[in-house]
Amino acid sequence: MPHTSTDHCNSLLLSIAKMSASDNSVVTAKETFQILMEMSKLLNTGLDETTLALCVRLCDNGANPEALAKVITELMRVKKEVNGQVNGPSGT
C-alpha cells in the first residue's frame, strides 16, 4: 500500500524525534516542523511538506544548506521544464 504524503512527513518527523535527545518529543518535533513549514510558506520557498522534510533530514545529515538550496532550485527548474515540455504541445 503506497504511503501518503502525510504519512511520509510523519515518519520523517518521527525519525527526527528519534534522532533528537528526547524520544518522547514527537509532538514537539511536529510543532517545530509546523513552524518550519509556516516559515517556508511565509518566505515563499515553494517547498511542499515532503520536500521540506527531506531537506530537514539532509541537513540533519550534514548537508550544506546553501548547496542544498542550489540543488533544490535546480531540481525545481528542471521539474518546471519537464512539465512545460509535457504540457506544452498538448496545451496548444
Query: Which residues bind to another protein, rule: CB under 8 A?
Result: 6, 9-10, 13, 16-17, 19-22, 25, 28-36, 38-47, 49-51, 54-76, 78-79, 82
Secondary structure of residue 62 in the 3-state scheme: coil
Q: State the residue for C-alpha cell 533528537.
A: 20
Q: How many CB atoms lie within 10 A of CB 55?
A: 20
Nearer residue to another protein within complex by CB, 67 or 87: 67
For residue 72, what is the enclosing H or E element?
A: helix 65-91
Nearer residue to another protein within complex by CB, 22 or 92: 22
Least Å from the CB of residue 90 to another protein: 17
User: How far, in Å, CA of 5 to CA of 33, rounded?
Assistant: 14
Least Å from the CB of residue 33 to another protein: 8
